[in-house]
Structure 1
């Protein structure tokens, strides 16, 4: 009886150790795989399939954003810079603009270059942006233009993480500590 109990306990402990959850928010069972048809920061039409093979972080925002976008991307950049070179080389961050009228490929390239070589800007026409934002349940809305023609865009601030095959894994919110984000990125890369 004692041996059976010990064997059962050992099995439960081993199973528990391998069933580690993400430190951020697990979305593997509720979000669809990576899929889009957009334009990259070089002006080329691209499909999601072109980004498979590397773990991918996806953020929706716009370059004229006065606060949330630069803060979120800087936090991601901080987490990525804490990684060793080999792990860092495996990560890509796709910044998808929801403001294609102002975020031309040239503007996107200048913006993403400020955060690091892992960051790539994408956009497209309104229909393409709506298709990808609807797919991931990302809301955005344009504010009223001021006398200079400037406007704000209200948008979601979550970062979606996909594995090498484009399967959704976890979601990063502003409230998640950078150390948790770093740990989940390392684990995502280590999944092979």
Structure 2
């Protein structure tokens, strides 16, 4: 699960890096993930993770804009099996597949923070 792994990696990184990383989770299930529920769930991983929700139209528009496949409305909703790493230029330069390890995040996040993309 990306949330647990990235949250753990951020706790391991020096503050100079971790403080520059913002983790944003966008729900694909706005009917169940109301703001209070989403905040409670994200707080299990890290209180600094930002949770975004909205109506179905807004969520689908966000998924389309990010080139993320739109959830099919199945009641067993699963969030994307990958994570996108955006930098300050607002582009997703890296796509992390499901199963990425904490050591990968620990290696990559400092590089992304320092990259010329982040300026």
Taking a change above 3 Å as real, the CA distance of residues 154 and 175 of structure 1, as seen in their structure-2 partners, is closer
Q: How does 1:89-104 map to 2 (within 5 A)?
A: 89-104=19-34
- Following the alignment from structure 2 to structure 1, what is the Cα–Cα distance between the partners of residues 18 and 79? 28
Rg (Cα) greater in structure: 1
Say whether the 8 Å CA contact 1:95–1:121 is kept in structure 2.
Answer: yes
2:73 paired residue among 134, 139, 142: 142
Deviation of residue 102 (structure 1)? 1.2
Gaps of 5+ in 1: 1-70, 144-150
Q: Name the structure where strand makes up a greater proportion of residues.
A: 1
Q: How does 1:2-151 map to 2 (within 5 A)?
A: 71-139=1-69, 140-143=71-74, 151=75
Is the aligned partner of 1:163 residue 2:87? yes
- Following the alignment from structure 1 to structure 2, what is the Cα–Cα distance between the partners of residues 155 and 83? 26
- 1:106-132 CA distance string (max 9 Å, x none): 111111122113301101111111111
Gaps of 5+ in 2: none
- Following the alignment from structure 1 to structure 2, what is the Cα–Cα distance between the partners of residues 119 and 159? 14
- RMSD of the alignment, in Å? 1.6
TM-score norm. by structure 1 comes to: 0.55
Report the count of equivalent residues.
115
Say whether the 8 Å CA contact 1:95–1:119 is kept in structure 2.
Answer: yes
Is the aligned partner of 1:182 residue 2:113? no
Question: What is the SS of the residue equivalent to 1:183?
Answer: helix
Deviation of residue 155 (structure 1)? 4.1
Say whether the 8 Å CA contact 2:27–2:79 is kept in structure 1.
Answer: no
Question: What is the SS of the residue equivalent to 1:78?
Answer: helix
